Amino acid sequence: MTDLLLHTAEELHQLPRTGRRAVVMTMGALHEGHATLIRTAREQAGPGGQVVVTVFVNPLQFGAGEDLDRYPRTLDADLAVAEGAGADAVFAPAADEVYPGGDPQVRITAGPMGERLEGATRPGHFDGMLTVVAKLLHLTRPDLALFGQKDAQQLALIRRMVTDLNFPVEVVGVPTVREEDGLALSSRNRYLSAAERHTALALSRALFAGRARLAAQAALRARAEASPASDERATALARLGEIRASADAHAVSAAGAGLPDAVRAAALHVLEEAGRHEPPLVLDYLALVDPLDFTETGQDFTGQAVLAVAAKVGSTRLIDNIPLEFGAHS
């Protein structure tokens, strides 16, 4: 496994290049989610290509009071995961190799999108993240860079940076990997006690509740489109005493109204219940956003959206999200 390991930019640049190169950037503590990224990179690079995994705990993206010193460092185990998933090399530089002059004076700025949601909670986090991603793209010189969709805002900002600054790389998003109980895989899950983990399941349950509400409302809307006179029918049924049928017809009639709010409400109900658990879930944000700029969706929104949540359970902060499709035939 030591044959995989590179510590310096010089060693990395001496790595013979074969075919397409794919890079997977990590902060270590690799788990099945990272392994899925590496396997996907292996598939996309092809049998004649090359997969480079970076392992670097980036100090620039940790704010005051965050867990830089606590963040797990498990390089030997990481090498085994990377090799098993198909990596050709692991670049694990020291901080002074990435930032030889200390903290860099010139950094990438995330702009307005970097100040929303995660950026509002963690000021400067995305500036630090984009700065190290830019440096690692220059150092590894990949054709493809793969990132997990669990960090949806990070993925969106990297795509924006690559487009705006003309990086010659294709950014590939890979779907979130979950435990059997629905919890999104994260290096921070290891901090959760059994009781905290039980509470933390509310994050994924809330997202799935929002998705289920969207599907149910979409089915009702399809019926409404097939029965344009359902509101008149509901009134007629009520006069005849058919209260259940009337209520159903009214629901069909109103199916298209306030759909984003209905999705948010379904998710929020689950999160509020978890706030009464012991230990409680402490909600940071629940947002339904446009993935292009991470602004909140309006009631007439159509197209791809991201339902995102962040919360603390005990001392551990967790994030999760799912993609949703809003439209006439959602």
Between CA 11 and CA 32, with CA 36 as vertex, the angle to 5 degrees is 100
Q: Which of 34, 250, 269, 277 is catalytic?
A: 34
- Backbone angles phi and psi of 6, in degrees to 5: -125, 140
- The answer to whether 34 is a known catalytic residue is yes
Other CB atoms within 10 Å distance of the CB of residue 170? 14
Which two structure tokens, joined as six digits, stand for 12? Answer: 């990395």
Between CA 99 and CA 105, with CA 103 as vertex, the angle to 5 degrees is 105
| CA atoms of 210 and 288, how far apart (whole Å) | 10
Concatenating the DSSP letter of every residue in 46-88 gives -TTSEEEEEE---GGG--TTSSTTTS---HHHHHHHHHHHT-S
CA distances from 39 to 53, 85, 146, 255 (A): 11, 5, 10, 42
Which two structure tokens, joined as six digits, stand for 23? Answer: 């890079």
Under 8 Å CB-to-CB from 62, ≥6 apart: which residues? 68, 71, 125, 128
For residue 82, how many C-alpha atoms fall within 13 Å in the half-sphere facing its CB? 31
Handedness of CA 260, 264, 267, 273 (dihedral sign): negative
In sequence order, what are the beta bridge partners of 146?
Answer: 24, 172
Under 8 Å CB-to-CB from 134, ≥6 apart: which residues? 108, 161, 165, 167
Which residues are part of the catalytic machinery? 34
